Structure 1
């Protein structure tokens, strides 16, 4: 299939009608469509797949241009349309897909079902319908099956998906199917599926096996029912096992992502730990500061009175030195003696104290100058108190100053810790993100253990069911062998199984040869467009591994960067196309019918929104030189900066140049460039 032209009407950014024709020159087979990011390159690339298959990957499913939608009067209709003219098998076709949009209200637009139509140009040069929708779909599928279209119409997002499937050793059914279809293995697969295996009722072997109990032996029927139940259980467990394996792969990948992100945040996490330690140190220092200040105040309250009285004590001692001149009272008379006389009411001299008031006053005054309240005793007691208080105040000032010093030193340490915290604040991790990652990691580890346990149960069930199936089949075979009719069916069954095994062996051998051939081809292309020191290996599941060809440098899988991953995808797609072309050439050589000319004119386009910005200038040059040699037609969408470099290396093979220019976020136009 070679694309002559495409015409868009109100398709997303492209308001109104826009027509592009593409180079179909064998020598200048490249068309370059240049535009800035957001101008509509991906939209134009997806216009091809929408026209052919009615599919896009846009999140917004509204295809009608936004400006047209907004300016439509309520109750009116507009159409969005893409039309392609292509050439295949010596015939020219016009493929058109159209959709009508009605504006029901200011915010509601209703789209009709797609109107899909294919026309063929007749001998007179006029277009005529090929028939109904089913026939139109069939013609497009014959040109390029939808399941293979992703390898010939793709953008950066599709390349990222291919890279993820191919290079991360995931299940790669799309690639396997593409290889089988393009190199002709599907026919052999269909023949193989027709004969076997024998556990499918639609196969020859399966049907014969089910008929081997027609003699009516109840035991055979019973055993067959049990075996079929076991086969179903095995298939269910195998399907479940596959699902669990895929889920485990996803969980492991997500777990690695979380661990990788946590590892990258480890320095920040360590800073967070240090930050918390300094905060705790501040709390501890502040607690100790409060304790030391409390101790200081307590000591001050207890000892300050004695310290302040020391000067007064010294003055009192000076006065007491003259204590000998003070009246020390009457010797040998005790205050209790006076108390006795007062109680008796009569003085020693015989005076009646009740009548002699003056005598009474003198005795009362004398009582307070005699022991135990005599002045001498009081002075002695006072001197003793001074001595004790003076002794207790020794070193009090020095101790108090040390307590003050201890209380004040905390401020300096707290300030120091605050400075350290301030330095760490800019290096702290996103605590919420760290907590989220740790929670997710824990949940994933739990899920991983759960899936591994379920996987173990599935494997155990499969082994147990297979063992029981083999036992029952041996038992049934012994019974079947005794029946004449079953013997004939068994002979046919064995013949069908022999054919199936032969086809299977042939298929497996050809698939291995195809995979090895493809591996050789993509290595040759990869060496030209990227690096000849790196080798590629296509694994059994059609994932791709990379390795250093010089073992002295290292071994094992290499860490992949974006440019290397994209180069692998380019090489893989180019390899598939090249093998398909070589296969077609081989068919032509062996074809002795009149259709040889038709096959010779078949070709495949490569329409890509190329992410060349991932490559350096030298590798862009290599890609630009190699890809046009492989595909029959190249239509490449590229941004301005990469486009200048690409055009520099493809000057002699560029047949058409176009420019997509954005007038606004919702409107772009397409201009032809010289």
Structure 2
């Protein structure tokens, strides 16, 4: 199929009637470039082509909930009571020229909603003058030209390229769907489903007519087979959960990348919060020390008075009078006239006089005993209080300094929080919480999946033993031979169909590996080829690159090499879908040059025109700058060049530009 032209009237962003002529394989210049900013309607051109050929109002990348309005909104505002919009595609297939037109009617309802419906479809073979005016007849003709199941593999955008570079479930799902679409064995799969239903019916008949030990064994086998089917279903559900979780995880990681610039602010705040905790702990510790000083505070208040009293007492009493002997003891010694050492005393002797002097001293001491006790107590108290005031003052100063630091940290935190409010802190926290939950869910899913796989392996062995046992009992069961034969033929047929599908699937995977490898060979530079030696599609449908040592290497290649790898694989999908090394369908690419280096871009620009009948590039000026223009000018492959310009909200103008402007 070669598309010649596309005409759009009041379609999407294209107000009025506008058209594009496409470069084709009849010329050397087979590339059509459509240059426009995001939102100008580049994807709308692809949407118009898919709508014209297949009647698809939605594209593969559209969500199921998305409400796609085909009619130009500006034109509809001008004619809210009703407006026609249409797309007309002219193309060639097997030397016949066709034109297909789809017309829609839209009107704006009183509540502001828009009602849109297909008004007519008309397909004309301009070579034979045949025409078809129903959806059924038009689709019947279209399906003879291109299989609807593989239509999406002739268009891919940056999102699909990016999706295939992820080592995740989304990548495996993309490849699995692609391979299953390429198999084109719907009828075989339906036949297998029908045979399974018939087998279920036959099993019921066998159960009904069997008896004894055979019936018991047959029922046990049936139960185990049902268990095996349930395990397969559970494994499938886990796979779906894993795909959804990994896809959401990728979305969250992409969203979190937007907040990378705020990462330094979050780290600064984290450090401040830690500092705040340390200051709070220090303040609490100092407060505890001050609490312990509370018992000294009342005493410290009278410290000056204590010193004054002590000085006055020191003047009133003689500290040397403190003897430490009670006066009653000395009186007893004088009465007995006998020394404490046992020597007799005599009046007027030196010993007697000294003892009398001692008595006078002791009497004086005892007369001032309370003053002496007070003196001693004050001395002890002042010794006890020595340095306590300085310690309390030092702690109070430290506490004051800590409070100043605390206030400074609070001020800085308030300032940071104010700045962080503008970068969606709540959203970041919410995303991180969801990410943590998803990670836990994935760990549980992987655990459950391994457990189910182990159960399936064990059950498979049990089933094999039970089938042999049932087969042996069957000969002795006495059941009608015809019913037994029917059961065996059905099981054998299902087994053969399953093996056929698996073999066919393996052949498609091997063909995809070869085509991807060949594309990589042309698109990579010498260093890349030496590093990425072999493409591998694993049994779980994950893509892998093997290095020169036959080791998995996909996780180690650069982002640009991942893009090339992805483009190589998707192009291989289109090649295998088309059944030829030369793509029979136009290859449409939306923003394919995102992260490609100049050498990889050059490889793409030189190689793809060799395997395409047509190549339509939908690009932005960011990825189609002077370097890319120079590469295309050098290759001399661009036959048509258009720019999409905005004339106002919801209105894009298609302007053809002379290809000489590329130079």
Whether the aligned pair in 1 keeps the contact of 2:231 and 2:452 (CA below 8 Å) is no
1:403-418 residue pairs with structure 2 within 5 A? 403-412=392-401
Partner of 2:389: 400
* Partner SS for 2:144: helix
Displacement, 1:176? 1.0
1:662 to 639, 643, 646: 646
1:429-448 residue pairs with structure 2 within 5 A? 435=433, 437-442=435-440, 445=443
Partner of 1:49: 50
For 1:465 and 1:513, the matched residues in 2 are separated by 29
Cα deviation code 1:479-535 (max 9, x no counterpart) = 58984x6799799x49x959985x877776665455434323321211221331313
Inter-CA distance 254–80: structure 2 relative to 1 (3 Å threshold): closer
Cα deviation code 1:25-62 (max 9, x no counterpart) = 34221111111222111121222122222232443422
For 1:171 and 1:673, the matched residues in 2 are separated by 37
Whether the aligned pair in 2 keeps the contact of 1:528 and 1:626 (CA below 8 Å) is yes
Displacement, 1:137? 1.0
Partner of 2:236: 242
For 2:47 and 2:372, the matched residues in 1 are separated by 112
Q: Does 1:525 align with 2:522?
A: no
Partner of 1:475: 473
Whether the aligned pair in 1 keeps the contact of 2:235 and 2:449 (CA below 8 Å) is no
For 1:441 and 1:166, the matched residues in 2 are separated by 14
Inter-CA distance 266–275: structure 2 relative to 1 (3 Å threshold): same
Cα deviation code 1:124-143 (max 9, x no counterpart) = xx5x4235321211212222
Partner of 2:37: 36
Whether the aligned pair in 2 keeps the contact of 1:33 and 1:659 (CA below 8 Å) is yes
Displacement, 1:463? 5.9
1:230-309 residue pairs with structure 2 within 5 A? 234-248=228-242, 250-251=244-245, 278-296=275-293, 298-309=295-306
For 1:543 and 1:673, the matched residues in 2 are separated by 43
Partner of 2:116: 111
Partner of 2:20: 20
Which deviates more from structure 2 when the two are superposed, residues 279-288 or residues 147-156?
A: 279-288
Inter-CA distance 438–545: structure 2 relative to 1 (3 Å threshold): closer
For 1:571 and 1:527, the matched residues in 2 are separated by 9
For 2:453 and 2:498, the matched residues in 1 are separated by 29
Inter-CA distance 231–140: structure 2 relative to 1 (3 Å threshold): farther
Q: Does 1:150 align with 2:155?
A: no
For 1:166 and 1:441, the matched residues in 2 are separated by 14
2:599 to 610, 618, 642: 618
For 1:474 and 1:171, the matched residues in 2 are separated by 45
* Partner SS for 2:594: helix
1:85 to 79, 82, 90: 90
Inter-CA distance 130–638: structure 2 relative to 1 (3 Å threshold): same
Displacement, 1:84? 0.6
1:175-214 residue pairs with structure 2 within 5 A? 175-181=178-184, 186=185, 199-200=195-196
Cα deviation code 1:336-369 (max 9, x no counterpart) = xxxxxxxxxxxxxxxxxxxxxxxxxxxxxxxxxx
Whether the aligned pair in 1 keeps the contact of 2:644 and 2:652 (CA below 8 Å) is yes
Inter-CA distance 509–317: structure 2 relative to 1 (3 Å threshold): closer
Whether the aligned pair in 2 keeps the contact of 1:46 and 1:56 (CA below 8 Å) is yes
Displacement, 1:254? 6.4
For 2:18 and 2:90, the matched residues in 1 are separated by 14
Which deviates more from structure 2 when the two are superposed, residues 628-637 or residues 309-318?
A: 309-318
Q: Does 1:547 align with 2:546?
A: yes
Cα deviation code 1:213-271 (max 9, x no counterpart) = 89x96669979898777656544442332222343455577679989989x99999998
* Partner SS for 1:151: helix
Partner of 1:574: 571
Task: Look at both structures and tell me which one has the larger radius of gyration over its CA atoms.
Answer: 1
Displacement, 1:385? 2.6
Displacement, 1:293? 3.5
For 1:389 and 1:610, the matched residues in 2 are separated by 94
Inter-CA distance 266–28: structure 2 relative to 1 (3 Å threshold): closer
Displacement, 1:95? 1.6
* Partner SS for 2:57: coil
Cα deviation code 1:258-291 (max 9, x no counterpart) = 89989x9999999888656544433333233334
Partner of 2:661: none
Whether the aligned pair in 2 keeps the contact of 1:77 and 1:102 (CA below 8 Å) is yes
Partner of 1:141: 143
Cα deviation code 1:102-143 (max 9, x no counterpart) = 2221512211246333222144xx5x4235321211212222
Q: Does 1:172 align with 2:175?
A: yes
Partner of 1:2: 2
1:498-517 residue pairs with structure 2 within 5 A? 501=496, 512-517=506-511
Whether the aligned pair in 2 keeps the contact of 1:30 and 1:634 (CA below 8 Å) is yes
The unaligned stretches of length 5 or more in structure 2 are 319-363, 659-663
Inter-CA distance 19–229: structure 2 relative to 1 (3 Å threshold): farther
Q: Does 1:311 align with 2:332?
A: no
Displacement, 1:568? 2.1
For 2:278 and 2:487, the matched residues in 1 are separated by 86
Whether the aligned pair in 2 keeps the contact of 1:230 and 1:466 (CA below 8 Å) is no
Inter-CA distance 151–400: structure 2 relative to 1 (3 Å threshold): same
Aligned length: 582
Inter-CA distance 256–282: structure 2 relative to 1 (3 Å threshold): same
Computed over aligned residues only, the root mean square deviation of the Cα atoms, in angstroms, reads 4.8
* Partner SS for 2:153: coil
Whether the aligned pair in 1 keeps the contact of 2:300 and 2:389 (CA below 8 Å) is no
Cα deviation code 1:534-553 (max 9, x no counterpart) = 132123454320122356xx
